């Protein structure tokens, strides 16, 4: 392995040590309120990983990941509501009473099972996204048209969920913080600590999973599709299947993310499917670094944490800062912060300032000349 790769490895290793040290120490140094915020933002990192897979690697700019995020959230909330509805009339969740509903709608029934719920949280969003994706990809719709379609789908889901009071409490959403899990209130401090740990572990697992997806040839096919799809076809690959699979995976990650976010924020509502929220997911990845995975995690957590800190100090200023940050990254660091560091951005600045000599050849060749090929 050459020097550059070694440096990059060393860098991601360092970042991981910092992340893990932070996660381990967070519960003892942060008050529960802050810990809960951190947990929520960590769960957003999971949906960001999915956006990085489909956008950063495969070039599919989806503006509709909020659909799958919300579906995961609804799945978890439905289970929690059912799990805590013994004291309400007809043994069904309380809100049904407001609309005169006395019988549980049929699609709620399977959510009485915790095992079904745990599978549904990722499988339902995965199947829906893969199905929608397949229809779009099969017809070779790409680029801007794909983005517009995903945003249109988001609006359809948003309006549908908003209007269904009798099925899922419509615009009010489903509350989870006053529900019971393992005999405890979901909103209680001890449960929130538990969810923080759970989220932290799942973020790391999601990273390993995504890394495994893109590590070898599969990831290279995705990059090939992003950069030159017809060329990939002429080599004998069918991009439709590759895109469908990766879009389904991103949907599953969004669902898991939405479920963890819901239990930590105490409610799921159609607000998860608003247009700005899905666009923000793209911004986290763009700022952190497309096609880096780690950049998606850092982008999601740091931007959201900054958002809550800034909003506390200077209310209403955050939108300006976020917009400015996005413009700054797009114009000066098109690869995002992590991408910039990995492509020797800091070194280039040092060279410009006259602090270092420019390289006269490709760094990897200068490092060790002819080398053994390692696949």
Partner 1 sequence: MNIPLLELSQITVSFDGLYALNNLDLKLNTGELRAVIGPNGAGKTTFLDVITGKIKPTSGKVIFKGRSITGKKEHKIARLGIGRKFQSPRVFNNLTVYENLALAISNPKSPWPILIGKQSNVQRDQIIHLMNIINLQSMANLKAGSLSHGQKQWLEISMLVGQNPDLLLVDEPVAGLTDEETDLTADLLKSLSGDHTILVIDHDMEFIRKLESPVSVLHQGKVLCEGSMDSIQNNPQVIEVYLGKPEEVNE
Contact residues for partner 1, defined by CB under 8 A? 2, 5, 213, 216-218, 220-221, 223-224, 227-228, 230-239, 241-242, 245, 362, 364-365, 369-371, 373-375
- Look-up of token digits 């909003």: 311
Residue closer to partner 1 (CB basis): 109 or 371: 371
Say how far apart CA 72 and CA 67 lie, in whole Å. 9
DSSP H helical ranges for the chain: 3-29, 32-51, 65-83, 95-98, 114-138, 144-163, 165-168, 189-215, 217-234, 239-265, 275-288, 294-313, 318-332, 336-342, 345-352, 363-368
Whole-number minimum distance, CB 221 to partner 1, in Å? 6
Whole-number minimum distance, CB 216 to partner 1, in Å? 8
Whole-number minimum distance, CB 284 to partner 1, in Å? 22
Whole-number minimum distance, CB 218 to partner 1, in Å? 4
Whole-number minimum distance, CB 344 to partner 1, in Å? 13
Say how far apart CA 68 and CA 128 lie, in whole Å. 8
Residue closer to partner 1 (CB basis): 40 or 226: 226
What 8-state DSSP symbol labels residue 53?
A: I
Residue closer to partner 1 (CB basis): 197 or 218: 218
**CA distance to 138, 232, 325, 335, per residue, from 130 (Å):** 11, 21, 32, 28
Residue closer to partner 1 (CB basis): 99 or 241: 241
Residue closer to partner 1 (CB basis): 10 or 362: 362
Residue closer to partner 1 (CB basis): 115 or 235: 235
Residues 6+ apart with CB under 8 A from 255: 68, 69, 71, 72, 75, 121, 122, 123, 124, 125, 126
∠ at Cα 369 (364, 375), nearest 5°? 65
Whole-number minimum distance, CB 49 to partner 1, in Å? 17
């Amino acid at each position: 392995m050459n020097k550059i790769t070694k440096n990059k490895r060393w860098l991601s290793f360092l970042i991981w040590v910092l992340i893990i040290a932070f996660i381990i120490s967070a519960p003892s140094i942060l008050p529960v309120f802050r810990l809960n915020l951190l947990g929520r933002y960590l769960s957003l990192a999971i949906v960001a990983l999915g956006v990085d897979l489909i956008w950063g690697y495969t070039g599919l700019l989806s503006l509709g990941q909020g659909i799958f995020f919300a579906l995961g959230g609804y799945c978890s909330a439905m289970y929690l509501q059912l799990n805590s509805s013994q004291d309400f009339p007809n043994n069904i969740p309380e809100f049904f009473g407001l609309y005169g509903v006395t019988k549980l709608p049929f699609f709620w029934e399977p959510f009485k099972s915790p095992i079904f719920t745990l599978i549904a949280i990722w499988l339902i969003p995965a199947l829906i996204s893969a199905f929608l994706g397949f229809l779009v990809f099969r017809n070779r719709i790409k680029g801007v048209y794909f983005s517009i379609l995903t945003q249109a789908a988001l609006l359809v889901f948003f309006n549908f969920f908003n209007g269904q009071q009798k099925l899922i409490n419509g615009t009010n959403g489903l509350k989870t913080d006053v529900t019971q899990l393992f005999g405890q209130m979901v909103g209680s401090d001890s449960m929130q600590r538990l969810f923080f740990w759970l989220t932290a572990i799942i973020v790391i697992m999601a990273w390993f999973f995504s890394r495994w997806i893109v590590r070898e040839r599969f990831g290279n096919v995705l990059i090939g599709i992003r950069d030159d799809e017809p060329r990939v076809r002429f080599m004998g690959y069918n991009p439709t299947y590759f895109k469908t699979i990766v879009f389904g995976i991103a949907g599953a990650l969004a669902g898991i993310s939405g479920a963890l976010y819901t239990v930590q924020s105490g409610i799921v509502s159609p607000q998860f499917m608003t247009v700005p929220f899905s666009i923000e997911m793209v911004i986290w990845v763009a700022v952190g670094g497309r096609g880096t995975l780690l950049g998606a995690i850092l982008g999601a957590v740091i931007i959201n944490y900054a958002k809550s800190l800034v909003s506390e100090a200077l209310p209403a200023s955050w939108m300006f800062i976020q917009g400015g940050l996005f413009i700054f990254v797009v114009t000066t660091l098109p690869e995002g912060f992590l991408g910039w560091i990995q492509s020797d951005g800091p070194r280039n600045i040092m060279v410009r300032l006259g602090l270092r000599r420019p390289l006269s050849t490709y760094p990897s060749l200068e490092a060790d000349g002819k080398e053994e090929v390692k696949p």
